[in-house]
Every structure is written in structure tokens, then in C-alpha cells.
Structure 1
Amino acid sequence: MPSYKLTYFPIQALAEPIRFLFSYGGTEFIDYRFDRADWPKIKPTMPFGQVPVVEVDGKKIAQSVAISRYLAKQYGLAGKDDWESLEIDSTYENNETAKEEKLKRAKEIVPYYLERLDAQVQKNGGYFVGGALSWADFTFVGLLDYLNFMMRENIIEKYDNLKQLKQKVEKIPSIKSWIEKRPSDINP
């Protein structure tokens, strides 16, 4: 069994979907949250000078999307076939685009994506892809607190399908357990 260490700032943000995946998979991992003041020392030791980083038996892997996709494959959450895998990637990329926008522009763009994501969940039986749980669902729900914090509002308030998806993901026993025991952040 490989050993895993997740390195990130002391917040949920981009690392939370990864923590959801580890929790869902029942995988023990070191959740290393470094002090922000130490970032200048840590940054040069990280691939691409970025976090989150996951170490698998001491080998460092960067980029939250790549990490999530890798773990999703381990836990059977990467789609039933190549097409579903592509749909999951596409869903995640839309979510990333919405997240990266500046706040002023995001106020226009985020509802555009949320309408489409809500419709996608409705069309796919309550999940983003194939009527079944995938890492796209974990990524969206895992990033929601962070997105709400950045947007200064509950961005899914008007989207019933997304609200139901959030509830479903958060009721999964391993995810519920993680949420109950995770460190409380100053901000998500």
C-alpha cells in the first residue's frame, strides 16, 4: 500500500476535492498544512512552485486536476468508459474556468456555468456524468465553500439540482466523516 502525503496551505480550497477522494477511498494520508509564513521556503521544493502536491511513496505530483484524476481512477470514480472520462474532464474544466475568473467578471460568468452544470446534473440522474458518482461531483462539492467565499455568496442557492448533488455527496459516510473531523479553516 503506497504512503500518501498531501501538502497545502492551511485551508480547504483546491486541496479539498483531493481530501474528499482520499476519504472516499478509505486511504490514510498525511494532511500537511503548512504555515503561510513558511511558503517562501517551501515553494522552491514543490514541482512548478505550486500546491497542492501529493507525495506517493515520496514522489511528488503537482496539479490538482492530475492528482484528482489519478485518485479517481484508483477508486472507480473516473467514468465507466473513455467517453464518460472525457465528460468528467470537461465538467471539471468548466468549473476551473469559473473559479479562476476575477470577481467582477465572475459575477457574470459563474451563473452561465452554474445554469449549465445544474442542467447537466438534472439530465444525468442527479450526478454530473452517467448517473453515477464521479470525481467531477467531488471536485464541485469540494470547491464550493472556497467558491462561495471568493464570490461572497452561496453560488448554488438558485440551483436545486446542484444543491441536491451537494447534499448527496456530503451524506456519503466517508465524506460526512471527513467533514466532521477536518480542521476548521479561517476561510475555506
Structure 2
Amino acid sequence: MAPKYTLKYFHIRGLGEPLRFLFAYGGIDYEDVRFTFEEWPALKSSMPYGKVPVIETDGEDLHQTLAMARYFARQLKLTGDDDWEAMLCDISIDTVTDLRLQIVAYNFEADEDAKEKKKEVLVNETIPFYLEKLDDDVKKNNGHFVLGKLTWADLVNVAILDMLQDMMQMSFTENHTNLKGIMDKVMAIPQIKEWVEKRPKTSF
């Protein structure tokens, strides 16, 4: 019998969405448990290291998004054909993670003056730099982030970039046709398309 999975996360896409994309792609059945930021303080102490997303299975709570995503990607044969290809996938995902951390730090900055300074750097320097590099990566890899074929880097990166551009309220693909191509390609995968059409509507 297949394991039963419960994904516990905020009522946003955020870091939960890469896992939801992988579940959708692989047809993996799971329960999507969501809670609000207001409910979080009462739940935090029950989560490993006080963080989410968490996947509960067989009475055990697992954490660390990319470690869990990598596990499911291996099950779905999406990590490449050998250790070298697996590393290239990791590099691409870690690169997008670098961008994500900077945008999230800006978004949750409480000091308005500091937030405005972070936004200026992000919009004028950081985001354009990353988008140009990522666009080049997709161009060099035959319309994918790595290896010229579908990998978990495509699913994870598209889930994150789609969320980040909504968080920043700006398009990441308007001037980056290769990036637009891979985002459209992933969103058109039947299982992903079905998930995106039915998922709860959230800001990011």
C-alpha cells in the first residue's frame, strides 16, 4: 500500500508549491493541510525546528523542503541519470533559492525605510541580474534549466519563480523569452495544469 502523506503549510504557495508540483506530476496522493499566519504561533512548537513545510507520513513529521522534494524527484526519476546530472539540478535549484531568500527578506522586512532600500536594490540590480542569467541557462539547455530535458529543477524553479513574481508584483518573463518558454512549458504539463487550475487562489 502506498504511503499516506500530509503536507502541512501556510495558506500560500510559497515553499509548499514545489512539493505540490511534484505530487501533482507524479500523481502522488496527499492531504493538503493549510493554516493562516494568525494560527501559526499556536502550531509552531509542534513542528520540527519550528518550521514548515512539513510532510507527515507514518506518524513522523519530516521537514526541509528541498530534501523532501529531492526524495520525491528521485522516486519520479527527475534527478538526472547520474550523480553529475543530479548535482547540476541541485546547482540550478540552489541558484533560484539564492534569489528567493533575498526577495522573501525584502517582503517580510518590518522596517519601512530598510524595506524601501532593499526593494531598490532588488528591482534595479538583483532581479535583473538573476533573470538574465537564468534566461541564458534555459537557452543553453534546449528550453530547460539543465540537461536539455525535464528535471525537478524545472518543476521546482517554475513553482518558485511564479510565486516570486507575484510577491514582487512584476513579470519575470516579459523581457526573457527563454524563461517564459520553460515556465509556459511546465505550466502546460497536464498534471501541473490541472493542479494550477484547481488550487486555492493566494497572493503568492
Q: In which range does the TM-score fall when normalised by the shorter chain?
A: over 0.9
Report the AA paired with residue 99 of structure 1: R
How far residue 167 of structure 1 moved from its aligned partner, in angstroms, is 0.9
- The partner residue of 2:151 within 117, 125, 134 is 134
State the distance in 2 between where 1:54 and 1:179 align. 20
- Unaligned runs of at least 5 residues, structure 2: 107-118
- Unaligned runs of at least 5 residues, structure 1: none
1:50-129 paired onto structure 2 within 5 Å: 50-101=51-102, 102=106, 103-107=119-123, 108-129=125-146
The answer on whether the counterparts of 1:13 and 1:145 sit within 8 Å (CA) in structure 2 is no
SS of 2:147's partner is coil
How far residue 144 of structure 1 moved from its aligned partner, in angstroms, is 2.4
TM-score (norm 2): 0.87
- Specify the alignment match of 2:184 in structure 1: 167
State the distance in 2 between where 1:2 and 1:104 align. 46
Percent of pairs with identical residues: 44
- The partner residue of 2:194 within 164, 167, 177 is 177
Report the AA paired with residue 70 of structure 2: R
Hey, which bits of structure 1, 4+ residues long, moved more than 6 A? none
For these two proteins, the number of residue pairs brought into alignment is 187
* Offset from partner CA, 1:69-97 (integer Å, 9 cap, x none): 11111111111111111111111111011
How far residue 117 of structure 1 moved from its aligned partner, in angstroms, is 1.2
Report the AA paired with residue 147 of structure 1: L
SS of 2:15's partner is helix
State the distance in 2 between where 1:154 and 1:146 align. 11
State the distance in 2 between where 1:181 and 1:163 align. 22
How far residue 145 of structure 1 moved from its aligned partner, in angstroms, is 3.0
- Specify the alignment match of 1:29 in structure 2: 30
Cα 1:116–1:22 shift into 2, 3 Å: same
TM-score (norm 1): 0.94
State the distance in 2 between where 1:23 and 1:139 align. 12
State the distance in 2 between where 1:161 and 1:70 align. 28
* Offset from partner CA, 1:79-124 (integer Å, 9 cap, x none): 1111111111111111011111133332211221211111111111
Q: Radius of gyration: which is bigger?
A: 2
Cα 1:2–1:162 shift into 2, 3 Å: same
SS of 2:79's partner is coil
How far residue 58 of structure 1 moved from its aligned partner, in angstroms, is 2.4
* Offset from partner CA, 1:109-148 (integer Å, 9 cap, x none): 1221211111111111111111111111111111123211
State the distance in 1 between where 2:59 and 2:176 align. 41
- Specify the alignment match of 2:19 in structure 1: 18
State the distance in 2 between where 1:64 and 1:104 align. 29
SS of 1:13's partner is coil
How much is the aligned-residue C-alpha RMSD, in angstroms?
A: 1.2
- Specify the alignment match of 1:154 in structure 2: 171
